[in-house]
Structure 1
Amino acid sequence: MVVCRVTDNILYCDGDNRGYARPTEADNWGCNTGPFAILEEDNAVHQPSANRRLYYTENPTNHYSRMQTF
């Protein structure tokens, strides 16, 4: 668990190397722009990872979230 708070419309999380601005609609659908973009200097708090199998254990499955980018 990571504690986060909003200051001046930016979401800051403890231990993260940068904050998250409010995403646009395009950011939400694309999941790789704005606050969701992954930068080379991002740390493990900003780009957490878990085994993919853990995301698809509940029914109904969100198949959109399963899509991969190539």
Structure 2
Amino acid sequence: MASIRTATVRLDAAAAALNDLSLRPQGKKMLVPLTASLYVPGTLDEADKVLVDIGTGYFVEKTMDDGKDYC
């Protein structure tokens, strides 16, 4: 049950991050997380495409709406 709760919290956080990202204008400067404690400066180029972690190190490019539906 704890694993399910942890997964639910992570998916909720991902959905909130996608929602926040979709509200930012293109060209917006932001900090991009590389790890839980390491961030690098970046610029938002394409807000309509996102990479979704589908597990075991695999990522799939999706549209913003598809990414939100996945979460």
TM-score normalised over the length of structure 2: 0.24
Q: Choose between structure 1 and 2 for higher RCO, CA contacts under 8 A separated by at least 6 residues.
A: 2
Higher alpha-carbon Rg: 1
TM-score normalised over the length of structure 1: 0.25
